[in-house]
């Protein structure tokens, strides 16, 4: 027994660290943390490098040509001698497809996010999430191939019918819903029970008739449209909206989830339906997070290259009239991708630098919108946590 | 508002939500299904004897005996075609010059289509390009060419209000009364005997090199290039990302500096992919010159920067999801922080970290814009592992763009494009699927 204690005592001595050992440990710890910090700062350094190296190649362009031509002229003839570098039409094209994709993806994405967070039971949600992940995972060039080889010919050959069907399917339900609501609102005041009911039915019927005429008229107008080229802004906007959807859905769902149960339960307790709870209580509380989601989704569409390069038609002009989505356009990203092949041989020329100027424009834009969306999310988190 | 109306509104609200989810699923199907069915056609198709000849001559696949026997089988039918052509050529010699000139261009078209179907016509000089040395390899393409042979495509411009309409005129009418008239019914009746279509399972599409700019052959060079680029990117980004994630979760204090680093991370995640390409060109190739021009190395580095934020975020989440009790137990046993991270936290977080890595690998494999200026070439041979530091490579993503938009015969090789898109999507979706399954497994395990 005595021996055992003695050996035990010896062992425990080994656990007491000598000052020298402690110092060595502290140094190792210091170096280790230093390495970790260095690696973590690597990302920040890369961001700085990206800004620096894109700007360094972009600045010579602005030195030689100034800002006015680039931002105000629509003449894009970089290969001519002397070249013209008016990027207005190209910037407009980028904005146009981004707006178009946002118009499709934002309502769809937000309603999908609401459905995922508040409507669907958990078991169904588990199957819906992978669908969104798959949609996000498909490479952009595959979407581009789909847009160019499959969708563009369809749009060219059956453009009118496709537009008409889309109109009926999308606008139809909403218009009839509006008819019911308006009929109710108009008759909600005055009169007694049975009389009011009859007035309402008649009024709703009349409104429904007018609505059907309206739907039919627009549908026929759309049906008569002939799409000359399937590679146009509409095609690109639609495909880009597929690509922006996953971002919008997942970020807005996070933000909807962050709204506490108490708010929802309070609203239900006051007798609101689920729709009313979501629209009047949950959405306002989550609005800033949803705004951040929209900004991120829009950035995804603006920065996308392959789809617009393959399926936008790449013609540098502002469509006539300005909202004509059936016209070909050209975007910043597609111009960079398409022109660098030729401009690369003339490194140092204006043709080369103008592409970096476009890259810088995209970079600055994405940087600002990232900062904004980050601020918004932080602020929402603070408000919701009650600070 | 009326209670009934409120109920209707509530229901339709739910309906809109569910419809939007269904629409997303439909969008996924609409994109994936045609690509899938088209892509299968690159591997399963009716191959003609010309396909088997190429397989034997270029890749030494198939048996000499079978091919010899089949050639003997088709030769008499083909001889008859060549006899008709010869007879017509002899006839033309006896015609009036004006009449002859009139027939000559029309006849040339017929002759070109026959050569396209059956390979070079005997007596012609041996063509240099491989695509002219063989006839049509796929039966559905042969049927299209046969239709071109039988009918002249014309356009009806009579109504200026509408787009021109396409209509067909039998080509035999142009040669009525000449020796060539017999060719058309003969070709229509005996084309299958001249080409011997057989159901073919062309596995080599994935493992063979391309011939004559993808007119024939497979896509191995592209698959390999994609593999090199994606794996190369992971080699750089994965260790860096995991270490950075350890710093952010275990060491970083909440101060201004850390928030700047976090902002930098989300900024990097939001940079448009084409700007990564510009940066790769300006920095890796033009400034520090990792290689003289485009190379796999430069492309991998560019892709690595692009996927770094994703890896960091995924690794952070995985580390944060390790229960606190694990860490406290380890600390309570007296191990140091670093040892706790290495032996307790990282092993528990590893599946989650790997999930993030797999998704990033898929992203790197599918991305095109960053490699356009840094690594991708349209036509190229397969490269060895040793060449990755100096040589550019073809890659699936880039070649899909190139073949679909810039190839001289883009319409002729749709099956190759579909095959490539299907390969790329399969790679990416399989990677994602395995990541999803892995994650489901892990979350079950961590819950206990």
In a domain, B30, yes or no: no
- Judged by CB atoms closer than 8 Å, whether chains meet at A114 and B424 is answered as no
The pLDDT, as a whole number, for residue B240 is 93
Chain A residue whose CA is closest to B415: A149
More confident residue, A13 or B213: B213
Instruction: Clarify whether residues B233 and B192 are in a common domain.
Output: no
Instruction: Clarify whether residues B295 and B429 are in a common domain.
Output: yes
Percentage of chain B beyond pLDDT 70 is 99
CA-to-CA dists, residue B344 to A29, B331, B402, angstroms = 18, 10, 48
* Single residue among B151, B172, B202 that ends a domain in this structure: B202
Among B282, B290, B310, pick the best mutation site for testing chain A contact (most A Cβ within 10 A).
B282
Class for the domain spanning A66-384 = mainly alpha
The pLDDT, as a whole number, for residue A342 is 66
The pLDDT, as a whole number, for residue A141 is 93
**What 3-state DSSP class applies to B203?**
coil
User: What is the average per-residue pLDDT within B61-85?
Assistant: 87
In a domain, B34, yes or no: no
- Judged by CB atoms closer than 8 Å, whether chains meet at B369 and A306 is answered as yes
More confident residue, B181 or A209: A209
- Tell me which residue in B7, B24, B397 faces A245 most closely, judged by beta carbons: B24
Instruction: Clarify whether residues B144 and B225 are in a common domain.
Output: no
Residues paired with residue B151 on neighbouring β-strands, in sequence order: B170
- Tell me which residue in A115, A119, A310 faces B405 most closely, judged by beta carbons: A310
- Contact yes or no for B429/A137 (Cβ under 8 A): yes
- Tell me which residue in B1, B34, B275 faces A50 most closely, judged by beta carbons: B275
pLDDT digits (tens, 9 = 90+) for B156-178: 887 777 767 788 888 888 887 78
In a domain, B167, yes or no: yes
Chain A residue whose CA is closest to B4: A184
- Judged by CB atoms closer than 8 Å, whether chains meet at B282 and A56 is answered as yes
Instruction: Clarify whether residues B227 and B359 are in a common domain.
Output: yes
- Judged by CB atoms closer than 8 Å, whether chains meet at B279 and A333 is answered as no
CB of A34 within 8 Å of a chain B CB? The answer is: no
The pLDDT, as a whole number, for residue A120 is 86
In a domain, B310, yes or no: yes
- Tell me which residue in B23, B367, B432 faces A108 most closely, judged by beta carbons: B23
- Flag the least confident range among B144-148, B160-164, B402-406: B160-164
Cβ burial of A257 (10 Å; 0-12, 13-18, 19+) is: middle
**What 3-state DSSP class applies to A298?**
helix
Among positive and negative, which fits the CA dihedral A259, A263, A269, A272? negative
Instruction: Clarify whether residues B249 and B309 are in a common domain.
Output: yes
Instruction: Clarify whether residues B315 and B391 are in a common domain.
Output: yes
How distant is the Cα of A290 from the closest Cα of chain B, in angstroms? 16
Among A34, A45, A50, A143, pick the best mutation site for testing chain B contact (most B Cβ within 10 A).
A50
- Flag the least confident range among B9-13, B43-47, B161-165, B174-178: B161-165
Chain A residue whose CA is closest to B7: A273
- Contact yes or no for A219/A164 (Cβ under 8 A): yes
Residues paired with residue B44 on neighbouring β-strands, in sequence order: B201
Give the distance, in angstroms, between the CA of residue A341 and the centroid of all CA atoms in the same chain: 29
pLDDT category at B243 given cuts 50, 70, 90 is very high
Q: State yes or no: cis peptide before B289, omega within 30 of 0.
A: no
- Contact yes or no for B252/A48 (Cβ under 8 A): no
Domain boundaries of chain A, sorted by first residue: 66-384
User: What is the average per-residue pLDDT within B174-184?
Assistant: 81
- Tell me which residue in B28, B34, B309 faces A135 most closely, judged by beta carbons: B28
Tell me phi and psi for residue A189, to 5 degrees.
Answer: -105, 145
In a domain, B58, yes or no: yes
The candidate with the shortest Cα–Cα distance to A110, out of A278, A307, A303, A271, is A278
- Judged by CB atoms closer than 8 Å, whether chains meet at A142 and B363 is answered as no
- Judged by CB atoms closer than 8 Å, whether chains meet at B267 and A180 is answered as no
Instruction: Clarify whether residues B184 and B225 are in a common domain.
Output: no
- Contact yes or no for A203/A186 (Cβ under 8 A): yes
- Judged by CB atoms closer than 8 Å, whether chains meet at A275 and B10 is answered as yes
In a domain, B355, yes or no: yes
The pLDDT, as a whole number, for residue A2 is 42
Q: What is the DSSP string of A129-150?
A: HHHHHHHHHS-HHHHHHIIIII
The pLDDT, as a whole number, for residue B1 is 66
pLDDT at B127 over 60: yes
How distant is the Cα of A55 from the closest Cα of chain B, in angstroms? 10
- Judged by CB atoms closer than 8 Å, whether chains meet at B267 and A47 is answered as yes
Among A47, A141, A298, pick the best mutation site for testing chain B contact (most B Cβ within 10 A).
A141
Domains held by chain B: number: 2
- Judged by CB atoms closer than 8 Å, whether chains meet at A310 and B309 is answered as no
* Single residue among B140, B168, B202 that ends a domain in this structure: B202
- Contact yes or no for A380/A288 (Cβ under 8 A): yes
Counting one residue from chain A and one from chain B, the pairs whose CB atoms sit within 8 A come to: 279
Instruction: Clarify whether residues B161 and B288 are in a common domain.
Output: no
| CB-CB neighbors (< 8 A) of B279 in chain A | 49-50, 53-54
- Contact yes or no for B223/B206 (Cβ under 8 A): yes
Mean pLDDT over the full length of chain B: 87
- Judged by CB atoms closer than 8 Å, whether chains meet at B425 and A359 is answered as no
How distant is the Cα of A109 from the closest Cα of chain B, in angstroms? 7
Cβ-proximal residues to B34 (8 Å cutoff; 6+ apart), any chain: A146, A150
User: What is the average per-residue pLDDT within B256-269?
Assistant: 89
pTM, to two decimals: 0.90
In a domain, B433, yes or no: yes
HSE-up of residue A93 (Cα within 13 Å, Cβ side): 33
Cβ-proximal residues to B210 (8 Å cutoff; 6+ apart), any chain: B216, B217, B218, B219, B220, B221, B379, B416
User: What is the average per-residue pLDDT within B269-278?
Assistant: 92
Mean pLDDT over the full length of chain A: 86
- Judged by CB atoms closer than 8 Å, whether chains meet at A374 and B308 is answered as no
Residues of chain A with pLDDT below 50 are 1-10
Chain A, window 231-260: residues with a beta carbon less than 8 angstroms from a chain B beta carbon: 242, 245, 249
In a domain, B144, yes or no: yes
Work out whether strand B44-47 and strand A84-85 pair parallel, antiparallel, or are unpaired.
unpaired
- Judged by CB atoms closer than 8 Å, whether chains meet at A274 and B13 is answered as yes
Alpha-helical runs (H) found in B247-323? 256-270, 273-279, 296-320
- Judged by CB atoms closer than 8 Å, whether chains meet at B12 and A173 is answered as yes
- Tell me which residue in B286, B312, B425 faces A142 most closely, judged by beta carbons: B425
The candidate with the shortest Cα–Cα distance to A236, out of A326, A359, A370, is A326
pLDDT at B431 over 50: yes
B18-39 burial, b at 16+ Cβ within 10 Å, e below that, comes to: bbbbebbeebbeebbebbeebb
What ipTM goes with this model? 0.91
CA distance A333 to A338: 8
Residue B246 belongs to domain spanning: 220-447
Instruction: Clarify whether residues B399 and B252 are in a common domain.
Output: yes
CA distance A45 to A56: 16
Instruction: Clarify whether residues B189 and B319 are in a common domain.
Output: no
The 8-class DSSP code of residue A60 comes to H
HSE-up of residue A60 (Cα within 13 Å, Cβ side): 14
- Contact yes or no for A270/A334 (Cβ under 8 A): no
- Tell me which residue in B2, B247, B267 faces A367 most closely, judged by beta carbons: B267
Instruction: Clarify whether residues B179 and B229 are in a common domain.
Output: no
Instruction: Clarify whether residues B247 and B190 are in a common domain.
Output: no
| CB-CB neighbors (< 8 A) of A341 in chain B | 372
């Amino acid at each position: 027994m005595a021996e055992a204690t003695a050996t035990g005592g010896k062992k425990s001595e080994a656990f007491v660290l000598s000052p020298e050992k402690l110092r060595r440990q502290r140094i190792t710890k210091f170096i280790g943390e230093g390495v970790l910090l260095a690696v973590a700062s690597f990302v920040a350094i890369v961001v700085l490098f990206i800004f620096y190296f894109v700007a360094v190649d972009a600045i010579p362009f602005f030195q030689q040509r100034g800002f006015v031509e680039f931002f105000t002229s629509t003449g894009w003839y970089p290969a001519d001698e002397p070249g013209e570098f008016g990027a207005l039409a190209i910037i407009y094209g980028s904005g146009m497809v981004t707006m178009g994709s946002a118009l499709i993806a934002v309502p769809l994405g937000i309603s999908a996010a609401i459905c995922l967070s508040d409507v669907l039971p958990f078991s169904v949600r588990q199957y819906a999430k992978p669908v969104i992940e798959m949609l996000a995972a498909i490479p952009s060039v595959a979407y581009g191939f789909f847009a160019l080889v499959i969708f563009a010919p369809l749009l060219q050959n059956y453009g009118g019918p496709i537009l008409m069907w889309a109109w009926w399917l999308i606008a139809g339900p909403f218009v009839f819903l509006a008819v019911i609501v308006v009929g109710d609102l108009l008759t909600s005041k005055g009169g007694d029970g049975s009389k009011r009911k009859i007035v309402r039915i008649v009024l709703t019927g009349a409104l429904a008739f007018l609505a059907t005429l309206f739907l039919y008229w627009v549908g026929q107008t759309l049906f008569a449209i002939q799409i000359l080229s399937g590679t146009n802004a509409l095609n690109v906007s639609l495909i880009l909206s597929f690509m922006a959807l996953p971002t919008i859905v997942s970020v807005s769902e996070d933000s909807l989830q962050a709204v506490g149960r108490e708010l929802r339960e309070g609203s239900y307790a006051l007798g609101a339906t689920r729709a009313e709870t979501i629209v009047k209580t949950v959405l306002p509380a989550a609005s800033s997070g949803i705004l951040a989601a929209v900004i991120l989704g829009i950035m995804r569409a603006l920065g996308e290259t392959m789809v617009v390069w393959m399926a936008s038609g790449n013609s540098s002009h502002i469509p006539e009239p300005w909202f004509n989505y059936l016209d070909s356009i050209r975007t910043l990203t597609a111009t960079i991708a398409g022109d660098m092949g030729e401009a690369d041989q003339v490194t140092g020329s204006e043709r080369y630098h103008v592409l970096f100027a476009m890259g810088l424009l995209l970079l600055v834009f994405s940087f600002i919108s990232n900062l904004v969306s980050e601020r918004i999310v932080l602020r929402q988190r603070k408000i919701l946590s009650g600070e | 508002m009326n209670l009934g109306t409120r109920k209707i509104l509530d229901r339709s609200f739910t309906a809109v939500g569910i419809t939007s989810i269904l629409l997303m699923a439909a969008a996924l199907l609409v994109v994936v299904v045609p690509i899938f069915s088209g892509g299968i056609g690159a591997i399963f198709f009716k191959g003609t004897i010309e396909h088997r000849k190429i397989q034997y001559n270029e890749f030494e696949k198939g048996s000499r005996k079978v091919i010899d026997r089949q050639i003997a089988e088709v030769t008499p039918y083909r001889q008859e075609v060549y006899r008709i052509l010869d007879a017509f050529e002899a006839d033309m010699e006896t015609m009036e010059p004006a009449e002859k000139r009139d027939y000559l261009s029309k006849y040339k078209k017929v002759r070109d289509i026959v050569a396209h179907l059956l390979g070079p016509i005997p007596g012609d000089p041996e063509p240099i390009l491989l695509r002219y040395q063989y006839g049509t390899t796929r039966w559905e393409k042969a049927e299209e060419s046969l239709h071109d042979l039988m009918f002249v495509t014309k356009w009806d411009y009579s109504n200026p209000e509408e787009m021109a309409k396409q209509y067909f005129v039998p080509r035999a009418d142009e040669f009525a009364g000449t020796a060539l008239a017999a060719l058309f019914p003969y070709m229509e009746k005996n084309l299958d005997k001249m080409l011997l279509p057989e159901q073919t399972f062309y596995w080599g599409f994935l493992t063979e090199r391309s011939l004559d700019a993808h007119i024939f052959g497979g896509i191995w060079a592209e698959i390999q290039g994609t593999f090199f680029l994606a794996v190369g990117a992971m080699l750089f980004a994965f260790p860096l990302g995991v270490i950075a994630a350890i710093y952010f979760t275990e060491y970083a204090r909440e101060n201004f500096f850390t928030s700047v680093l976090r902002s930098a991370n989300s900024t990097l995640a939001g940079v448009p992919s084409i700007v990564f390409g510009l940066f790769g060109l300006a920095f890796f190739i033009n400034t520090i010159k990792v290689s003289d021009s485009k190379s796999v190395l430069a492309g991998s580095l560019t892709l690595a920067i692009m996927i770094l934020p994703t890896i960091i975020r995924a690794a952070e989440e995985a580390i944060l999801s390790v229960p606190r009790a694990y860490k406290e137990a380890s600390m309570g046993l007296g191990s140091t922080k670093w040892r706790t991270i290495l032996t307790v936290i990282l092993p528990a977080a590893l599946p989650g970290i790997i999930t993030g890595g797999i998704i990033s690998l898929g992203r790197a494999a599918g991305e095109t814009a960053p490699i356009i200026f840094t690594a991708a070439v349209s036509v190229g041979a397969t490269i060895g592992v040793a060449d990755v530091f100096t040589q550019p490579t073809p890659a699936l993503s880039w070649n899909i763009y190139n073949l679909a938009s810039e190839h001289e015969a883009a319409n002729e090789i749709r099956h190759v494009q579909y095959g490539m898109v299907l390969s790329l999507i399969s790679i990416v979706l399989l990677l994602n699927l395995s990541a999803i399954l892995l994650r489901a497994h892990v979350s079950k395990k961590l819950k206990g």
